[in-house]
Amino acid sequence: MSDWNKNFINPTPKEFEAELKSRPDLAGNLAIHRLTSHVPEDDFIIYQGDLITDGYLEFDHTNVIVMGNVKAKVVDLSNEKAGGDEGGSFFVYGDVECDYFRNHYGKMTVIEGSLKVNKILNNGFDDSCLYVHKDATAEYYYCPRVWMNVKGKAQFKYGEGFSFPLTSAKIEGKKKKVEPEHSVEDSHDFLKIKNRMKKGDDIEEAIDIYMYEIFDEMNK
C-alpha cells in the first residue's frame, strides 16, 4: 500500500472526461459530462496499473479510474472519505475481486471485466448504476430498490433484488432478469438477521442497518 501514490495521477476535469470519452465501449451511453459539472477540480484521480491490497479500499476522491484490476478485502465506493455527498464515478479497466463491495448514492460504477464478490455485494443505492461488462457473482447480493446490469453471466447465491442484462436496449424483458438462487426468507436466515432484531423491528430496516454497520465495523 505504501507505493500506491506513485501510480496515481491527478487529471483536470477535462482530461478525466476525455479519457472516458476515449472508451466509448464503457462510457458511450452514459452522461459523462455530468461528472465534471459543479465538482471541485481536484476531485479526479486515475490509477495506472493493478490496485491490490489485502485491506480496506476507499478513495479520497469521488471520481476514480483504475487502468487495471482491483483486488481488496473491501471495496467501498462511499464518498465519506472524500468529503462528498452523492454522485461521482468509478471506472475499472479490468476485473474487480473482493470479499465486500459497496456502491454509493448516485455513483456511476462501470467495470470492464468481471466482478467477483466473495461475501456481500451492497448495491442498494438510489440513482446509482453498476455496469459489469463480463460476469458478476456474489454470495449475498443486496439490491432491493435498484438493479445492476451484467453483460456476461450473473449468479447470486443469497440476497434480494435482481440484475438485468447489459445491452444497448433501454428496456429489458422481466424474463431476462436474474435473481438470487435462494428465497428472500432463506437469505434473511443466512444473514441471521433476526438475531439482531428486537420485538417490533422491521426486518427490511434491520437489513439496511446491518449493511451499513458491517462496513463501518471493518473500517475501524
pLDDT of 170 = 47
Q: How many domains, the chain?
A: 1
Residue 207 reports pLDDT greater than 50: yes
Is 45 part of a structural domain of the chain?
yes
Spatial distance between the Cα atoms of 164 and 151, rounded to a whole number of angstroms: 9
The DSSP result for 50-75, as a single string, is -EE-SSEEE-SSSEEEEES-EEEEEE
Task: Give pLDDT tens digits for 138-166.
Answer: 999 999 989 999 999 999 999 999 999 99
Q: Evaluate whether residue 197 is within a structural domain.
A: no
pLDDT at 174: 52
HSE-CB for 29 with a 13 A CA cutoff = 9
The neighbour count for residue 116, using CB atoms within 10 Å, is: 18
Q: Confirm whether 192 is domain-assigned.
A: no
Cα 54 to its chain centre, rounded Å, is 18
The pLDDT-based confidence of 29 (bands split at 50, 70, 90) is confident
Report if residue 117 sits inside a domain: yes
Q: Domain limits at 51?
A: 4-183
Query: DSSP secondary structure string, 96-134?
Result: EEEEEEE--TT-EEEESS-EEEEEEEE---TT-EEEESS
Which has the closest alpha carbon to 59: 80, 36, 34?
80
Residue 169's pLDDT is 46
Task: Give the 3-state secondary structure of residue 142.
Answer: strand
Closest alpha carbon to 35 in 96, 110, 111: 110
Question: What average pLDDT is seen over the chain?
Answer: 90
* In-domain check, residue 215: no
32-91 pLDDT, tens digit per residue, is: 888 888 788 889 999 999 999 999 999 999 999 999 999 999 999 999 988 888 899 999
Look at the block and give the residue holding cell 446490469.
Answer: 149
Instruction: Give the tens place of pLDDT for each residue, 109-138.
Output: 999 999 999 999 999 999 999 999 999 999
What percentage of residues in the chain have a pLDDT greater than 70?
94
Q: Report the interhelical angle of 184-191 vs 203-218 (nearest 10°).
A: 40
Give the span between the Cα atoms of 17 and 11, in whole angstroms: 9
> Does residue 109 fall inside a structural domain?
yes
Position 95 scores a pLDDT of 98
φ, ψ of residue 215 in degrees (nearest 5): -75, -40
| 178: in domain | yes
The one-letter amino acid code at 108 reads: M
In a domain, 209, yes or no: no
CA angle 75, 184, 124 (to 5 degrees): 35
pLDDT value of residue 195: 83
